[in-house]
Amino acid sequence: MTAVLDQILSAERRKAYGAALDLLATKLAEDEHMIGLGFPYVTAPDGSWRTMPASRSAGYTGGAWSHGNWFCGFWVGLHLAAYLWTLNERHLAWAKERMLLVAPRADDPNTHDIGFIFWGSAIPLFHVTGDPRYAGMALRAADRLRARLITTRGGAYISSWGPLSDQRGRRSSAIDTMANLPLLYWAADRADDGSFRLAGEAHAKMTRAAFVRADFSTYHAVEYDLATGARARGFTFQGAFDESCWPRGQAWAIYGFAATARATGKPEHLELAERLADYYLARLNDGLVPYWDFDDPAIPDAPRDSSASAIAAAALLDIGAQHPDAGTAGRRAEQACSLLDALCRDYLAHEPGHRGLLKCGCYSKSHGEGVASAVLFGDFYFVEALMKLLLPGRFQPPACRSDEQPAREAL
């Protein structure tokens, strides 16, 4: 991959990507003086951050589901990226302070989102500092995520939403869960416990069977028959309609199958990640940032979702980094850079009043939340992709593979 990066990372690209990271560091430092105890998640129409305490868990209020705070870990991760890029120790101190507020979520039994929370925080903190306390937090979260595995006759899947005592959540799973699997793959290697990897791969296999349509688009969510594991219905929570393709979900799927390929070494997962990516790229008709839903009938009068583009870029880099064919590896990395180029050129929030890094994210159009906003997860995956390019290996461990583990010392 290093040779590939040397080829595709022109001086112009390095400058643009570095400028985006400079902007990140400046904004984070300003924000820390404004946000208090809360964690930013989306920007309001006036450009200011809306914040939420890290402790707010997910759950149902009556029939309404709320994701709660699944963003808080990303704030820690963004500080770490800013620290690695600028070497300003203040960002490291902020990351550690904020981590203390995030850490109790490691025991949260209500949501798959602990994968997002700890992949974005404790794992990079451990990677950067080597402090085993952060590895311990991430392992606790991985235990919780593994415990969400629901076993049926047809296979096992991770339930996404709600406590497992609630049948609504127990029966269903969301495509977003694919992007939580890296926590399990990391834990498998850290704890030398292959059951984490088995759990992640089992979920990926069920997702392939139940979520991926014949044209390689994906459902946002699936309700399973609890006995057989057959799909009872495909539906959406944040997309336009049940049979539409929600670009962010598609990007989560590419990301998760690329991670599963790395963790298992099995080519079928990499092939699927590529087919999902081809579908995503083919539907970017008039620009490199998709509308919030590929199938919204209101297009072109519809908002876009820059976060989908950021996630897809990070995932394409993961595909490129492991692809056995050098030509394909280079092509996938180039596709990722094209997406990042467009984000840097047209979507960076240079205006001081507009907080966040990327404009035009879309948290949930269906719920009227965070539309035409910066969204913290978009900023995180954008920065993750930039770090993979500019400081490879420094920010996060690669999604691990058992045969890449250091050899054990001879007994």
Q: Smallest distance from the beta carbon of 238 to ligand GLY, in angstroms?
A: 6
Nearer to ligand GLY, 67 or 365 (CB): 67
Dist CA 316 CA 192 (whole Å): 28
Q: State in angstroms the smallest separation of the CB of 248 from ligand GLY.
A: 5
For residue 161, the cross-strand partners are 111
* CB of 294 vs ligand GLY, minimal distance in Å: 15
Contacts to ligand GLY by CB under 6 A: 67, 176, 238, 248
Q: What is the nearest approach in angstroms of ligand GLY to the Cβ of residue 176?
A: 4
Least separation in angstroms between residue 244's CB and ligand GLY is: 15
Q: Is 176 a catalytic residue?
A: yes
Active site annotation includes 22:
no
d(CA 197, CA 215): 28
Catalytic site residue from 176, 296, 305, 318? 176
Nearer to ligand GLY, 69 or 260 (CB): 69
Chain centroid to Cα 311, Å, comes to: 6
Helix (H, G, I), strand (E, B) or coil at 285: coil
Integer Cα distance of 192 and 405 in angstroms:
10
Closest CA to 161 of 87, 110, 106: 110
Q: Give the bridge partners for 157, in sequence order.
A: 150
Q: Which is nearer to ligand GLY, 248 or 359 (CB)?
A: 248
Looking at the Cβ atoms of 176 and 293, the one nearer to ligand GLY is: 176
Cβ distance to ligand GLY smaller for residue 264 or 307: 307
- At closest approach, how far in Å is the CB of 380 from ligand GLY? 12
Indicate which residue of 31, 113, 189, 379 is catalytic.
113
One-letter identity of residue 371: V
Task: Using the minimum distance from each CB to ligand GLY, give the nearer residue, 229 or 361.
Answer: 361
Q: Which residue, 66 or 129, has its beta carbon nearer to ligand GLY? A: 66
Residue 205 has a CB neighbour count (10 Å cut-off) of: 17
Selection from 404, 351, 364, 50 nearest residue 238 by Cα = 364
> Which residues sit opposite 61 in a β-bridge?
64
**DSSP calls for 290-309:** -BSSTT-TTTTSS-B-HHHH
Strands 221-224 and 172-174: antiparallel
Q: Which residues make Cβ contacts (< 8 Å) with residue 53, sequence separation at least 6? A: 37, 38, 39, 69, 101
How far is 338 from 288, CA to CA, in rounded Å?
Answer: 8
Q: With contact defined as beta carbons under 8 Å apart, do 326 and 5 qualify?
A: no
Q: How far is the CB of 361 from ligand GLY (least distance, A)?
A: 10
From the list 185, 183, 161, the residue with the least C-alpha distance to 172 is: 161
Q: How many residues does the chain have?
A: 411
Q: Which residue is nearest to ligand GLY (CB)?
A: 176
Active site residues: 113, 176
